[in-house]
Amino acid sequence: MFAPAHAPSRSIRGRNRSFDFAAFRGVVAIVLALACADARGQWSGSVSVVSDYRYRGISLTDNDPAVQGAINYDDPSGFYAGAFLSNVRFAFASGQELQALSFAGYVWQLPSGVSGEVGVDYSLFTRTHGYDYPEVYTGFTSGNFSGRLYYTPRYFGRFGDAIYGELNFAQPLGDHVRIVVHGGALRSKSYDPYGGSSNQSTFDGRLGIGFDIDAFNLELSWVGVSNAESAYPFAGSSHRNGVVFSVSRSF
């Protein structure tokens, strides 16, 4: 288990807790508001089974399978909200637990056809609460391309901020087949036992092919990460790079 090399000041801890609480309270408030929103809004969701839950290239199930679910609400005004659930297991932690990721945001479209968005999310773990953390993000979508930039003051419980950027591309090869490409970069801060700090970079990528069969989606992907231990407070990935297979059902 990861432990901070040195304790941050009370002011830093206070700011981090305030950021956490404000982000979490904001997500909950928006989700509740949208749950009572205009009936013209659209609800959707999915249930998935994956051979390995890779989050930004890192296995959160110690290279084992996961069962996942998601629910989303899209309002005609551009607001959206939702939640994602998955089983996870951290190395050296006590058994299986759940990750609950709630999110809310706003999307708008420019005259050029490019869409922009801003939002907030909060990742909560049912047993290792020291890994809970909030994020704010902004992003865009243009044709087959999309991207997001995330910021958090304490990534997976670390007392240092982190920025994660990603670019995604999906190219249809037919009516029911597509190629998917993802690239991401994480810039995080870590502390050493002597009171100093350093910035670390981790890169991840994914290349896959997806198939739509009725309401089901099948995807086979290769996922890789440059360094599983440099930016994360756990070492739960015995296979840094590998193939991931997923089956999901939308509703």
103-158 pLDDT, tens per residue?
999 999 999 999 999 999 999 999 888 899 999 999 999 999 999 999 999 888 87
- pLDDT tens-digit profile of 171-218? 999 889 999 999 999 998 765 544 555 678 889 999 999 999 988 999
Q: Amino acid letter at 231?
A: A
Residue 62 forms part of a structural domain:
yes
Q: What is the pLDDT of residue 158?
A: 74
**What residues make up the domain containing 29?**
10-250
Residue 64 forms part of a structural domain:
yes
CA distances from residue 58 to 71, 110, 136 in whole angstroms, order as listed? 23, 34, 20
What CATH number is given to the structural domain containing 214?
2.40.160.40
Q: What six digits make up the tokens of 135?
A: 């994020």
Query: Does residue 66 surpass a pLDDT of 80?
Result: yes
Is residue 189 within a helix (H) or strand (E), and if so which, with residue range?
A: strand 177-191
Backbone CA torsion sign across 47, 120, 219, 238 = negative
Residue 173 forms part of a structural domain:
yes
- pLDDT tens-digit profile of 218-227? 999 999 998 7
Residue 1 forms part of a structural domain:
no
Q: What is the mean pLDDT of the chain?
A: 82
Break the chain down into helix, strand, coil percent, rounded to 5.
15, 55, 35
Residue 160 forms part of a structural domain:
yes
- Mean pLDDT, to the nearest integer, of 16-26? 52
Residue 5 forms part of a structural domain:
no
Count: domains in the chain: 1
